[in-house]
Amino acid sequence: ILNVEQSPQSLHVQEGDSTNFTCSFPSSNFYALHWYRWETAKSPEALFVMTLNGDEKKKGRISATLNTKEGYSYLYIKGSQPEDSATYLCAPNTGNQFYFGTGTSLTVIP
Amino acid sequence: GAVVSQHPSWVICKSGTSVKIECRSLDFQATTMFWYRQFPKQSLMLMATSNEGSKATYEQGVEKDKFLINHASLTLSTLTVTSAHPEDSSFYICSASEGYEQPQHFGDGTRLSIL
């Protein structure tokens, strides 16, 4: 079982603020790192799949970076909006196994 | 976009009943499907991974005879909870992928309540 840690566990920000959170994982046997957004009453939605050390991906106001050598990934949200409120999950993949972190619950206050 | 349909969304049944949950990829071929369980206030726990036409790979601690997984085609996987008991009550969710480096597309989940 992979030890995946996400921090902070929950976060409240004002609309318009930028924010970021962390996913930490063991760097050995790394294959890929997935980020998902899970809104209440919906199914998880894929944000990014990252495989290369130093990789940076962007989707609108959301971006993510990856450091496979030290075992962490950051997710950034620029200019948070209420619709960004969700739980953000990361899931490192060691080839044929996925281990989801407990997520960061983001609430954006209008 | 890729759509995964999971059915049923909610099941309430008596102890001892077997329950089948279906997971279908509607507009793509899923070479790999995943089954997860979520306990209250916890994250998604991978139960098993299934590849079309082969036996599922179960995670440690997951009973193969209790949770039967069939992945008969590239668009359908089923999870059968056999002789379900109250401790099997949980939220079960499937996902489908075209490969391990591809994103997973999730169904809406099934809330199982065993009385």
* Residue-wise pLDDT tens digits, B18-53: 999 999 999 988 888 999 999 887 888 999 998 887
Q: What average pLDDT score do residues B49-71 get?
A: 90
End-to-end CA separation in angstroms for chain B: 37
* Residue-wise pLDDT tens digits, A41-96: 888 999 999 999 999 999 999 999 999 999 999 999 999 999 999 999 999 987 76
Best probe of the B interface among A6, A9, A43, by most B CBs < 10 A, is A43
Relative to beta strand B10-13, strand B110-114 is parallel
Say what the pLDDT of residue B3 is. Answer: 92
Which residues of A lie closer than 8 Å to B, measured between beta carbons? 1, 31-32, 34, 36, 42-46, 49, 51, 89, 93, 95-103
Is B59 within 8 Å of B48 (Cβ atoms)?
yes
Cα–Cα distance for residue pair B115/B99, rounded to 1 Å: 38
Q: How confident is the model at residue A1 (pLDDT cuts 50, 70, 90)?
A: low
| Binary contact (B100, A45; C-beta < 8 A) | no
Nearest to A32 by CA among B92, B107, B104: B104
From B12's Cα to the closest Cα of chain A, the distance in A is 19
